[in-house]
Each structure stands twice: as C-alpha cells, then as structure tokens.
Amino acid sequence: MSHADDVTRRTLLISGAALGAGLALPHRALAAIPPELLGNCPTLSHSATEGPYYFDPGLVRRDITEGLPGLPLRLVIRVLDNTGCLPMSNGVVEVWHAAAGGLYSGYAAQGTSGQTYLRGAQVTAPSGVASFQTVYPGWYSGRTPHIHVKVSDPSGVELLTSQVYFDDTISQWVYTHHAAYTSRGVQDTLNSRDGIYSASEELVLQWVRGEAWAGITLTV
C-alpha cells in the first residue's frame, strides 16, 4: 500500500505543544487556542520526505531529550481516521529531529554514532493522542527548522511520513534568546526558501496569554 493511498484515508493533527523555561515570547505570538484543537476534523496532512537521518532506535518513551539543553517543547500529536474523523487508538507515532546544535543522533559523520537523543515513539491513547517531551529543534544549513513525524497503524502499516514546521519569527526569536541556540544565531533558511516546506502544511506556534504553554495546530 502506497503512502499516497494511505494519506487519502488518514490525517495527522498536531494538536498542541508547550514551551517552558520561563521565557516570554514576542507579543505578536500571543493567541487563543484555535478551533481546530476543540474537536473539528482537520483536512488531510501531506506526506514529506523521510530524509537521510531516520532510524528506529526501538525506544518507546515520552521524554526524548536525554538531558540535552534547549527550550522545552511538549509536542502533542493526535491521529485521526479521516473517514468519520475518529481517533486511532494503538497506533504508533515516531518523532526525530536535530538538537540545538543542528546535529542528529546516531550518525558517525556527525560524530553522534551510537547516540539516540531526540528520537522516540509513543502508542496513541484511545483519544488518538501521543505526546512527547522534547526541545525546540535546532537548524542546519539548507533546511528550515522542522520535526520529522512517522505514523503507523496498530498492525504496523506505515500511514504517513511528514514534517512539522514553525513560524519563522518564533524560530528566530528562540535562536537569539535561548542560551542553547545563541552561539549559532538564526537559521540560514526560512520556510519560504526551504525546498521541502509547503506553506499549506505550516504549523504555527501560538503562545497562549496567561498560560505557560503554547499550541501548535496544523493549517492545511
């Protein structure tokens, strides 16, 4: 079964994220929870390249940081069956992304062979939700900041491989205000110049006024 066939039947909703570390984001990032988080069925997520840095470390875990520095980020992913918009229970969601310094774990060429930081999987709850404790992704040359996501059904059939993105102004603010990122400065590639990013798949990080957490919603 092809990814394209699967994507016509399934949808992935990135339904929430949380930031910590006592940081105050720019005023323009303040927003209320969007209606997509309140039960509306979203449109289909699009597939995106797996990229060169995927491997399955076999780690089912919520906290994937392994103590690495970075702006804390709570990523909540909800998987829905697009036929009826019902949550998918016992599915598997895998995520992986670069650390604050722009390197992926597990690759000899990057000096990270044998390491497994910022990788992990969760089994979806009856609500279709899987959540991860991670850090804001770092950037590397030629790519806009992103997190990779892979979703499989309870039988192990891969349904969707995609990437999630962040508003450029938020990334630039994080990279210039949080100590784990400031030595590298802002990313060299914005969303609009990234060859894989699609504006129709943008995830917008929204800071909720008066609460120490933020929401990410998929706008497709």
| Closest to 134 measured CA to CA, from 79, 191, 59, 186 | 59
pLDDT on residue 52:
95
Alpha-helical (H) ranges within the chain are: 3-7, 168-177
* Domain 3-218: top CATH class: mainly beta
pLDDT on residue 78:
80
Residue 108, pLDDT above cutoff 70: yes
Give the whole-angstrom CA distance, residue 211 versus residue 16.
13
In the chain, what are the domain boundaries? 3-218
Give the whole-angstrom CA distance, residue 144 versus residue 146.
6
Burial class for 84, CB neighbours closer than 10 Å (0-12, 13-18, 19+): exposed
Give the whole-angstrom CA distance, residue 124 versus residue 7.
18
pLDDT on residue 189:
97
Q: Are strands 203-208 and 30-31 parallel, antiparallel or unpaired?
A: parallel
| Residue 167 in tokens | 């508003």
The fraction of the chain above a pLDDT of 70, given in percent, is: 67
Residue that has been written with the tokens 């016509």 in this structure: 8
Give the whole-angstrom CA distance, residue 175 versus residue 136.
10
Give the whole-angstrom CA distance, residue 28 versus residue 80.
31
6-15, 32-41, 121-130, 207-216: which has the highest mean pLDDT?
121-130
| Residue 112 in tokens | 């990270």
Residue 28, pLDDT above cutoff 60: no
Burial class for 76, CB neighbours closer than 10 Å (0-12, 13-18, 19+): middle
Q: What is the DSSP letter of 209?
A: T
Residue 17, pLDDT above cutoff 50: no
Q: Mean of the pLDDT values across residues 167-175?
A: 87
Give the whole-angstrom CA distance, residue 9 versus residue 36.
19
| Residue 129 in tokens | 């939700």
Q: How far is residue 91 from each of residues 77, 88, 100, 127, 128, measured CA to CA in Å?
A: 11, 6, 29, 11, 8
| Closest to 47 measured CA to CA, from 8, 92, 89 | 8
With contact defined as beta carbons under 8 Å apart, do 197 and 144 qualify? yes
Q: What is the mean pLDDT of the chain?
A: 75
